[in-house]
């Protein structure tokens, strides 16, 4: 299994498209990082002995440091986990309706065939993420304006999204920030009433957390 997966990673990194990418072995993630942002492709994989193969599941992400760096002092997660987390994540199905998993045999009998699928697939999908979330303004339109316009709803679980979206509105659309803040706080109350554990973790410090963001986050 190790030899096959290491060969896959080596061949990906040898492609010129990934010349700026590095591989983080601890969580099987390819990433391209600048001071301001990170694009990532996680290749979660596991062995299937029944067919002598490995299955790979792809997760694509984008992270803006300005949206999450300020929150490190409040998060209950480890600093390492915080800095590895993306602001947005997608799988193949979400991006282009392709299968989320790809299977490669250990004897390399289907290696060329499957790599001819894998390489174009991850290039296409990380390019979609990079374009869709190229700027903070793009992110704001995609994830906040669409909710304010009634096209979709804020998430019904987790907590990080709320602080990220508040920060986006504060940085990108200050005039409408009070309306966005009110809408997000309504969602937080709704989740708190349903005992969403991540919201419960932060609920008692909401005023402190949001005030800190408003006082300290600047472009």
**pLDDT tens digits in sequence order for the chain, 219 residues long:** 569 999 999 999 999 999 999 999 999 999 999 999 999 999 999 988 888 999 999 999 999 999 999 999 999 999 998 999 999 999 999 999 899 999 999 999 999 999 999 999 999 999 999 999 999 999 999 999 999 999 999 999 999 999 999 999 999 999 999 999 999 999 999 999 999 999 999 999 999 999 999 999 998
Residue count of the chain, please give it.
219
Classify the phi-psi angles of 117: left when phi > 0, otherwise alpha if psi is within -120 to 50, otherwise beta.
alpha
Looking at residue 1, what is its pLDDT? 55
Whether the Cβ atoms of residue 37 and residue 65 lie closer than 8 Å to each other = yes
Looking at residue 19, what is its pLDDT? 97
Whether the Cβ atoms of residue 129 and residue 143 lie closer than 8 Å to each other = no
Looking at residue 2, what is its pLDDT? 61
Nearest C-alpha neighbor of 173 from the set 203, 135, 204, 123: 135
CA dist list (Å): 95 to 45, 127, 135, 200, 212: 20, 10, 18, 31, 35
Looking at residue 50, what is its pLDDT? 83
Whether the Cβ atoms of residue 70 and residue 211 lie closer than 8 Å to each other = no
Looking at residue 48, what is its pLDDT? 87
What sign does the CA torsion over 94, 89, 77, 161 have? negative
pTM over 0.85: yes
């Amino acid at each position: 299994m190790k030899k096959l997966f290491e060969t896959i990673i080596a061949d990906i990194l040898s492609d010129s498209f990934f010349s700026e990418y590095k591989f983080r072995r601890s969580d099987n993630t390819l990433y391209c990082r600048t001071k301001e942002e990170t694009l990532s492709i996680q290749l979660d994989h596991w062995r299937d002995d029944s067919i002598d193969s490995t299955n790979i599941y792809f997760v694509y992400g984008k992270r803006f440091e300005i949206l999450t760096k300020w929150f490190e002092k409040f998060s209950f997660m480890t600093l390492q986990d915080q800095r590895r987390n993306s602001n947005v994540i997608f799988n193949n199905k979400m991006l282009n309706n392709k299968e989320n998993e790809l299977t490669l045999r250990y004897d390399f009998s289907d290696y060329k065939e499957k790599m001819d699928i894998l390489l174009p697939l991850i290039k296409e999908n990380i390019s979609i993420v990079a374009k869709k979330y190229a700027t903070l303004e793009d992110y704001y339109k995609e994830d906040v304006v669409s909710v304010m316009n009634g096209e979709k709803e804020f998430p019904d679980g987790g907590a990080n999204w709320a602080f990220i979206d508040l920060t986006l509105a504060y940085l990108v659309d200050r005039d409408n920030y009070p309306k966005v803040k009110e809408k997000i706080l309504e969602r937080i109350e709704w989740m708190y009433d349903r005992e969403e554990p991540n919201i419960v973790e932060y609920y008692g410090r909401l005023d402190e957390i949001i005030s800190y963001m408003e006082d300290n986050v600047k472009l």
